[in-house]
Structure 1
Amino acid sequence: MAIGEVLSADLIKSKIYTAVNTIETMLIGVITSVDHVNLKYGVQPVLNRYDDGDKEFVESAILFECPMMSNKCGSFFIRLPYEVGDMVYVGCSKYSVDEAISDNLTKPNRMYGVQQFRQIDGVILGGILSDSEQRLSSDNTSDLLIQNRKTNDKFVILANGGIELVTKTKVIVDSPETEVSGNLTVNGNIIGKSNINIEGSGTIGTVTTKKGTTLDGHTHPYNPGSNPTTSTGAGEG
């Protein structure tokens, strides 16, 4: 093989190598900024890229306003509150993400001819648990679990049936009307700040008035004799 042919082959190989190495498919990064309203985040790739010119590894550029793949449909959505420092898995779109998500309509690709599979066209596909961070709870490994690792509050749909809500703080239900079908057991005090209407019969324990009178042995004075009054008068206490 002639020297010219060898140089030409090496040049072709070099160009192919360079072209292949500029194709980005997937990468792992760490969130640097958050925009929970628009579901766009800054992402810093964790692995440095190799600079062929300087012959050394340099820090990869931050992906700004990287969209998050989300669980949404129609008017419903589930928003995961990613934080700065969270590790995420990013997939790189073949074409321009900004161009594609500008609206929900089909349109010509104005970025046609531009390099495909670029890092700047990344989409966050989900979170990754790094080996250096806090482990997940070993509880409810067979159940559907939503848990706050800082407070240990959790919502669990049990595999064998039933639902558990566990928290050390207040649970707020903000609704004009709440209906419970079935028996209700309360292991604690019930504080009513308005009227209580009960239909049907029931059994209650000791009842004490606001002034401290216990109704279990509560009596009213009356006027004895052959001609008592019809009214027993006001209750004591």
Structure 2
Amino acid sequence: MITVSNLEVQYGKRVLFKDVNLKFTPGNCYGVIGANGAGKSTFLKVLSGDVTPSRGSVSFGPSERLSVLKQDHFEFDEHTVLDTVLMGHQPLWTIMNEKNALYAKPDFSDEDGIKVGELEEKFAEMDGWNAESDAANLLSGLGIKEHLHYELMGHLNAKEKVRVLLAQALFGKPDNLLLDEPTNDLDVNTIMWLENYLSNYENTVLVVSHDRHFLDAISTHIIDIDYSDINLFSGNYSFWYESSQLAARQQANQNKKAEE
């Protein structure tokens, strides 16, 4: 769950949005729409903590994990594809490395044994024993063939990297998931796989996309960023569009009657 309270983002004299009070809850997928430059990506960056708001706050449920689709395609070039996906669940990745480092010690002590036992318990609680197979399944679903799973990210082309970073964001089923233009460079079959995955996702998802058909398939709500306001509507993109057109016609009729 994500709670936004009295949020405002301003650059100089320009106010992107202000007085935003919203709550995003599990089991829902929120499609974020708005004109170019309206602040869609900035809004997601505020939620992720990459941008500090001028005023207000963003909070998450206790112990909830946030995952964001990375935009830097070169950040993981020195890591294997599979490790890059596993790094999407940072607490699990940290435990895996700590555990492996202790096992590799030539002078493994009783104290190390106790520490490893604690780490193994946490690892099991996070379903760590299935982590590699889960990561591999995500990669395969997104069109990354098995022979690439142990290749360095630096050896992949741009379209392949996009898919790996998307698998990284999805890995471990984070409590809160932020995706900015996730369908870029995906083919039709992969987009359909992603639509099905997000449609059945049980946690909180926010997606910025210009793909109206994609938003129709996944969205339970629409967030419209327009003229310094952020408004939340129930339903998918088509429902929002039809409702907004009806509202515009009604407003035009009221204006016409007022003039008469």
TM-score by length of 1: 0.22
From the two aligned structures, give the one with the greater helix fraction. Answer: 2
Q: Which has the higher contact order (CA 8 A, sep 6+)?
A: 2
